Amino acid sequence: MGLVLAVMLLVLLGGGAVLAFAGGDSRSKARVAALGKTGERPGKPDANALRKKNMQAALKEFEKKQAENRTTVTIRKRLDRAGLFTTSPKTFWIASGALALGTAMLVLLKEQSVLIAALAGFAAGFGLPRWVLGFLKARREKKFTADFANAIDVIVRSVKSGLPTGDALRLVASEFRDPVGGEFKKLVEGMKVGLSLDQALRKMYDSMPTAEVNFFAIVMTIQQKTGGNLSEALGNLSGVLRDRKRLFGKIKAMSSEAKASALIIGSLPPVVGGIVYMTTPGYISLLFTQKAGNLMLAGCALWMGLGIFVMRKMINFKH
């Protein structure tokens, strides 16, 4: 009887050992792998990872809304970006038509062909006004960028001193000259009539489509949705904008010689042609009166335009 009990105990002990070693290793490996993946106790999410995820979601949402708002640029929007707020599109079209008609009539009075008169009228009525708008827009954006970093510094100091963000924006709108003061004034007025900060910033970027305004809108939008130190974020943005400005000045200084050479090379043929026309008009008048001369002028204009385009691409650096 004692022998039978001893045998039964040995069998039970052996089976338990086999079961323990057979399943325990896989279960322990699974638990170690799970702890290695999380790196923390279950139920306690990583705050930094959650904040990063929220920032990425806010950034994607902001970029998506900006892409949805990119529509065809109308004449009204071009006039606003150029700073011509009091000029209506109707006035712009009337002035462009009058310029085109006057240029075409002037060319016809010089006894030129109808084709030359039509091309000159088209260039004067369609190309010249848009070039002027582009020039005014670029000049206004340059003036805005020059004061924008200082405006952000004012916001940073205001927030550090305890002022709310809305009061800091109103301070910039009242203390800075146009176009910085005007753009922030429209931003504050938009928020007064019920627009959210995100919507008002998108309208600001639509009115002043520069990379600096885009950075500012992204920082403000992400900070509003995810929280954080606004003064520190805007202070870093101010430093980035100042570095961009210094880089632009360095690029401008390094490319000044190439720009001067391109200007001289591009202006030499029309200047020489104008001098020859004023001194000996009969020598060059065949280019304007004969069909072959007109074709030669068109070819020269095409090649000159292509050369100027290539030179511009060579000296125009992205920054």
Count of CA atoms in the C-beta half-sphere (13 A) of 107: 21
Q: CA torsion, points 60, 65, 66, 68, in degrees to nearest 10? A: 130
Please state, in angstroms and rounded to a whole number, the distance separating the CA atoms of residues 297 and 28: 86
Helix/strand/coil for 243: helix
Please state, in angstroms and rounded to a whole number, the distance separating the CA atoms of residues 5 and 143: 100
In a domain, 166, yes or no: no
In a domain, 259, yes or no: yes
Distances (CA, A) of 42 to 36, 38, 45, 46: 12, 8, 8, 11
Encoded amino acid at 178, one letter: D
Please report the pLDDT score of residue 277 as a whole number. 83
Q: Phi and psi for 18 in degrees, rounded to 5?
A: -65, -45
Count of CA atoms in the C-beta half-sphere (13 A) of 279: 6
Q: For 69, left (φ over 0), alpha (ψ -120 to 50), or beta?
A: alpha
Please state, in angstroms and rounded to a whole number, the distance separating the CA atoms of residues 100 and 124: 5
Length of the chain: 319
Count of CA atoms in the C-beta half-sphere (13 A) of 92: 21
Please state, in angstroms and rounded to a whole number, the distance separating the CA atoms of residues 119 and 151: 46
Please report the pLDDT score of residue 143 as a whole number. 92
Q: How many domains does the chain have?
A: 1
CB 164 within 8 A of CB 256: no
Please report the pLDDT score of residue 64 as a whole number. 66
In a domain, 310, yes or no: yes
Range of the domain at 267: 255-319
Q: Which residues contact 28 (CB under 8 A, 6 or more apart)?
A: none
In a domain, 297, yes or no: yes
The residue ranges of the chain whose pLDDT is under 50 are 4-7, 9, 11, 13, 15-24, 31-32, 35-44
Please report the pLDDT score of residue 319 as a whole number. 53
> Could you tell me the pTM of the whole model?
0.67
In a domain, 238, yes or no: no
In a domain, 130, yes or no: no
Please report the pLDDT score of residue 30 as a whole number. 54
Residue 251: count other Cβ atoms within 10 Å of its Cβ: 15
Instruction: Name the token pair of 167.
Output: 């009061």
CB 177 within 8 A of CB 147: yes
Distances (CA, A) of 24 to 3, 12, 294: 32, 18, 94
Instruction: Name the token pair of 279.
Output: 């001194």
pLDDT of 217-230, one tens digit each?
Answer: 988 888 887 777 88
In a domain, 267, yes or no: yes
Quick one: how far is CA 246 from the chain centroid? 18
Residue 207: count other Cβ atoms within 10 Å of its Cβ: 16
Please report the pLDDT score of residue 44 as a whole number. 47
CB 140 within 8 A of CB 209: no
pLDDT of 100-127, one tens digit each?
Answer: 999 999 988 877 778 888 888 888 898 8
In a domain, 262, yes or no: yes
Alpha helices in the chain (DSSP H): 2-38, 47-68, 75-81, 89-109, 114-122, 128-160, 165-175, 180-192, 197-207, 211-226, 230-254, 256-279, 281-284, 286-289, 291-315
